[in-house]
Structure 1
Amino acid sequence: MEQQHKGNAWALLPFAIFILLFIGSGILTGDFYKMPVLVVLFVSILVALVMNRKTNFQTKIDQLSEGGGHPNIILMVVIFLLAGAFAKVAEGVGAVDSTVNMGLSFLPGNLIIVGLFIIGCFISISMGTSVGTVVALAPIGLGIAEQTDIHVALAMGTIISGAMFGDNLSVISDTTIASVRTQGAEMKDKFKANFFIVLPAAVITAIIFYVMTADASGAIQEAKSFNFIKVLPYLAVLVFAIAGVNVIYVLFGGILFAGAVGLILNEIALMDFVTLISDGFASMLNLSIMVILLGGLVELIKQNGGIEFLLRSISKRINSDRGGELGIAALVSTVNLSTANNTISIITTGPLAKQISERFNISPRRSASVLDIFGSTIQGLLPYGAQMLAVAGVASISPVAIVPYCFYPMLIGISGLLAIAFRFPRFTILNEKK
């Protein structure tokens, strides 16, 4: 039987320490990724364990284990591992290069930046990773800028915009998985709700890029080599996921399909396929451990009364479902500013967002969409975020110079606020029956 606790502000101390250590080390060192997140998490957990002396230590250890081992957490870890394996296998068989080159081969000169944005959208929604997208496209964006009169910061901002499209929408993105699992929503329902909110932002972004570069001179002259068969695994994953097939089946199928394509085309050997799967798992280990530890930390904070305190504090300022959605948006945005990682932000604030949504009758797909939209908004505009640092490093320019050209992250934040204000789209409003 779960213990009931009164709200306790001090119970939030471990979370405050987590935020302060992470952002404080970034300010002091100038590198927001200098301090390992797992070390910060362990420090926060130790603080949580020594609090609340009325509860014996073994009970607190049990609470930590129960939080980290919650079925939703374990399922999330399994999905993360499979998503990592699919991404590595697809990359290993040349699917990323073929997808990029296929798009660039058909782009007319006056649509080069619009096309780069669309390619970024497709790759990111297929790969499920914004970082992977910017790593793949940043050298191409730099080449475009060098062969045309397009400003390099604009080209990099275009890549960030396309990358954040898929980071927010892709059914295999870790942020989508985290938002869906923490809110108890169906993947296809969240995708549909999220898509209708951000579609206007994507269209307006494309229009802005066209207007800014319609008179740009120069173009990519060399035809790009690609193999359409290598693009098929991405297309298959996207189609079946949108169709509502269980994400576990989708990812298993995607891994096997991508592997089969590589084997048939002699791009990889059987043991290479196995190694790529292992590498994909390994790429997600830190995130998986982090998810488990965060689940345990949140449970300790909850048992000590921290969650209830936040709920009561927020509830005092919320008297409607609109207020609840704005509260969720503010929570994930604030944490994202501090951690520079939208996945961590969603995982951290997800349990609280779930309780807010239940209290104010906000549908799971709606709360999952709000979490993901505003997490992506902040992440896509952070000069110290991984995506911005990656493209800035390739282009050898300041990440601050790129921010003004990141139109899509700006516009999805505006779209999210308008969706909350005007209750759009209407089909997401009613709470689903469990």
Structure 2
Amino acid sequence: METKRGSLLALLPFVVFLVLFIGTGVVTGDFYKIPVVVAILIAAVIALAMNRKESLAKKVDIFCKGAGHPNIMLMVIIFLLAGAFSEVTKGMGAVESTVNMALSILPQNLLIAGLFVIGCFISLSMGTSMGTIVALGPIGVGISGETDIPLALSMAAVVGGAMFGDNLSFISDTTIAAVRTQNTKMKDKFKTNFFIVLPAAIITIAILVFLTMGVETNITRHSFEWTKTLPYLAVLITALAGVNVMVVLTGGIAFAGVIGLLNGSYDWLSLLQKIGDGVSGMQELAMLAILIGGTVEIIKNNGGIDYLLHVVTRKIKGKKGAEFGIAGLVSLADLSTANNTISIIITGPLAKSIAEKHNIDPRKSASLLDIFSSCWQGLIPYGAQLLAAAGLASISPVSIIQYSFYPILIGISGVVAILIEGRGQARA
């Protein structure tokens, strides 16, 4: 498959966005100096102003196509449901009771490591990193509030656990996209992928235990009402059962609302108000996802994505070089799109061509697509995962990166799997 050279200039909107959002934060020390929505909105305007060969009406149509992509719309709906679930459970005391229960059961030096492991199981069963972050984020915030553990560390543990399942779950969009584009079987890809990232998960647990062993805690053992923990338990059980994330979150909202009504935390009007507050709190994230989707589609139409593909593939030599090419290809796409599913969909066909040309096992190419897209998705401060975690904790997404051990380690594991011939390719 030949790739078009594309256009470097087409990437200008993305460069402007990075300069405004990240550059301004680095210079001023305040990453909220320019709201991220304003930064991407400016980038979108620049993208629409480019390519004078096409009419504004046509470019707007292209923008709306990208903004309304099914993956983007699903993300928006999950954002809104997530916000409602978080607010309703918080209002009826579920967070406080769940935190108190966790603090009563877990040894103090295993709180954060335990949070990561729970996140791994939830995300593996739920198939979505966003649903996992929403379910566990408030617990991470509560644990930090009751201890001297940095809030950014707690949220990084939550994000790390969420990315574990996002990369491996049989019902994850990213996994499905990787398997379909590489024409391999889901169970075979899972085996290959699992053995590559397992060391990363084990090392992450060890690091989290080590970091929290010496942390001073000021935990007071509080009593808790187990009935208030039921919404989270219900979410965990339904997630482990593989129920669709939208059903999980909708059911969680309803369940928490009923308990709140029964214990007097809410009346009907206050419950509806809480749901509205939760949805409103996620409107910025929803708008950000829509604007990024539209802007990326314009960049793609103007040749920006083709340029990235050309740069990555023009000097590929040998099998290992081809595997690094696939890794670099999906990495650049994810950095550009801030969406690991879309990045796999965009680069998957070219990755398949590279894999066939260089005799790369499709299980390996599918795993590389999924691993490296998930690696960067768990690290970029403008990605949905870090933005959601930061929003729940009211901190900067950049502050979480310093503790993002698992996303970094799966990237390293992926590199090692490429360098060590034959490793990471489990027999079907």
The secondary structure found in structure 2 opposite 1:224 is coil
Relative to 1, partners in 2 of residues 1:47 and 1:266: Cα closer, same or farther, differing over 3 Å?
Answer: same
Relative to 1, partners in 2 of residues 1:212 and 1:87: Cα closer, same or farther, differing over 3 Å?
Answer: closer
Whole-Å separation in 1 of the counterparts to 2:315 and 2:111: 44
Q: 1:138 aligns with which of 144, 151, 155?
A: 144
Q: 2:257 aligns with which of 256, 259, 282?
A: 259
| Contact 1:374 1:416 (8 Å CA) reproduced | no
| Contact 1:85 1:280 (8 Å CA) reproduced | yes
Task: Identify the residue that residue 238 of structure 2 maps to in structure 1.
Answer: 240
Task: Identify the residue that residue 29 of structure 1 maps to in structure 2.
Answer: 28
Relative to 1, partners in 2 of residues 1:191 and 1:260: Cα closer, same or farther, differing over 3 Å?
Answer: farther
Task: Identify the residue that residue 113 of structure 2 maps to in structure 1.
Answer: 117
Letter in 2 for 1:240: T
| Deviation digits for residues 322-373 of structure 1 (CA, Å, limit 9, x no counterpart) | 33552156437856xxxxxxxxx633x6534422123223677864453233
Letter in 1 for 2:109: I
Letter in 1 for 2:264: N
Whole-Å separation in 2 of the counterparts to 1:268 and 1:333: 42
Whole-Å separation in 1 of the counterparts to 2:203 and 2:28: 38
- The alpha-carbon deviation at position 68 of structure 1 amounts to 1.3
**Does 265-274 or 321-330 show the bigger shift?**
321-330
Whole-Å separation in 2 of the counterparts to 1:406 and 1:5: 35
Task: Identify the residue that residue 45 of structure 1 maps to in structure 2.
Answer: 44
Q: 1:168 aligns with which of 163, 171, 174?
A: 163
Matches within 5 A, 1:218-229: 222-229=220-227
Matches within 5 A, 1:393-408: 403=402, 407-408=405-406
Whole-Å separation in 2 of the counterparts to 1:315 and 1:217: 47
Matches within 5 A, 1:202-221: 202-208=201-207, 210=209
| Contact 2:178 2:366 (8 Å CA) reproduced | yes
Relative to 1, partners in 2 of residues 1:156 and 1:414: Cα closer, same or farther, differing over 3 Å?
Answer: farther
- The alpha-carbon deviation at position 115 of structure 1 amounts to 2.9
Task: Identify the residue that residue 85 of structure 2 maps to in structure 1.
Answer: 86
Relative to 1, partners in 2 of residues 1:90 and 1:122: Cα closer, same or farther, differing over 3 Å?
Answer: farther
Relative to 1, partners in 2 of residues 1:86 and 1:221: Cα closer, same or farther, differing over 3 Å?
Answer: closer
Whole-Å separation in 2 of the counterparts to 1:195 and 1:141: 33
Q: 2:247 aligns with which of 235, 246, 249?
A: 249
Is 1:307–2:310 an aligned residue pair? Answer: no
- The alpha-carbon deviation at position 184 of structure 1 amounts to 9.5
| Contact 2:76 2:289 (8 Å CA) reproduced | yes
RMSD value, Cα: 4.4
| Deviation digits for residues 145-199 of structure 1 (CA, Å, limit 9, x no counterpart) | xxxxxxx6xx66753552333442477xxxx9885798798xx999999877655
Whole-Å separation in 2 of the counterparts to 1:193 and 1:232: 36
- The alpha-carbon deviation at position 31 of structure 1 amounts to 0.9
Task: Identify the residue that residue 18 of structure 1 maps to in structure 2.
Answer: 17
| Deviation digits for residues 204-241 of structure 1 (CA, Å, limit 9, x no counterpart) | 34444556776x69876743222233222223223323
Task: Identify the residue that residue 340 of structure 1 maps to in structure 2.
Answer: none
Letter in 1 for 2:300: K
Matches within 5 A, 1:266-281: 266-281=264-279
Relative to 1, partners in 2 of residues 1:34 and 1:243: Cα closer, same or farther, differing over 3 Å?
Answer: same
**Does 75-84 or 225-234 show the bigger shift?**
225-234
| Deviation digits for residues 244-267 of structure 1 (CA, Å, limit 9, x no counterpart) | 322222221121112122222322
Relative to 1, partners in 2 of residues 1:195 and 1:163: Cα closer, same or farther, differing over 3 Å?
Answer: farther
Is 1:373–2:380 an aligned residue pair? Answer: no
| Contact 2:87 2:274 (8 Å CA) reproduced | yes
Whole-Å separation in 1 of the counterparts to 2:294 and 2:215: 55
Task: Identify the residue that residue 332 of structure 2 maps to in structure 1.
Answer: 331
- The alpha-carbon deviation at position 297 of structure 1 amounts to 0.8
- The alpha-carbon deviation at position 102 of structure 1 amounts to 0.9
Whole-Å separation in 1 of the counterparts to 2:204 and 2:69: 40
| Deviation digits for residues 72-96 of structure 1 (CA, Å, limit 9, x no counterpart) | 3222211221122112212222222
| Contact 2:63 2:297 (8 Å CA) reproduced | yes
Relative to 1, partners in 2 of residues 1:245 and 1:407: Cα closer, same or farther, differing over 3 Å?
Answer: closer
| Contact 1:314 1:327 (8 Å CA) reproduced | yes
The secondary structure found in structure 2 opposite 1:267 is coil
Structure 2, unpaired ranges of 5+: 123-130, 181-185, 353-361
TM-score by length of 2: 0.73
Task: Identify the residue that residue 96 of structure 2 maps to in structure 1.
Answer: 97
| Contact 2:327 2:369 (8 Å CA) reproduced | no
The secondary structure found in structure 1 opposite 2:223 is coil
Q: 1:316 aligns with which of 308, 314, 317?
A: 314
Whole-Å separation in 2 of the counterparts to 1:6 and 1:218: 56
Q: 2:280 aligns with which of 279, 282, 302?
A: 282
Is 1:128–2:133 an aligned residue pair? Answer: yes
Relative to 1, partners in 2 of residues 1:346 and 1:266: Cα closer, same or farther, differing over 3 Å?
Answer: same
Whole-Å separation in 1 of the counterparts to 2:349 and 2:202: 33
- The alpha-carbon deviation at position 13 of structure 1 amounts to 1.2
Whole-Å separation in 2 of the counterparts to 1:41 and 1:19: 9
Whole-Å separation in 2 of the counterparts to 1:182 and 1:303: 21
Task: Identify the residue that residue 68 of structure 2 maps to in structure 1.
Answer: 69
Structure 1, unpaired ranges of 5+: 143-151, 336-344
Matches within 5 A, 1:150-165: 159-165=154-160
Identity %, equivalent residues: 37
Relative to 1, partners in 2 of residues 1:156 and 1:17: Cα closer, same or farther, differing over 3 Å?
Answer: closer
The secondary structure found in structure 2 opposite 1:128 is helix
**Does 53-62 or 128-137 show the bigger shift?**
128-137
Is 1:54–2:47 an aligned residue pair? Answer: no
Q: What is the aligned residue count?
A: 388
| Contact 1:101 1:225 (8 Å CA) reproduced | yes
Whole-Å separation in 1 of the counterparts to 2:263 and 2:119: 21
TM-score by length of 1: 0.72
Task: Identify the residue that residue 357 of structure 1 maps to in structure 2.
Answer: 348
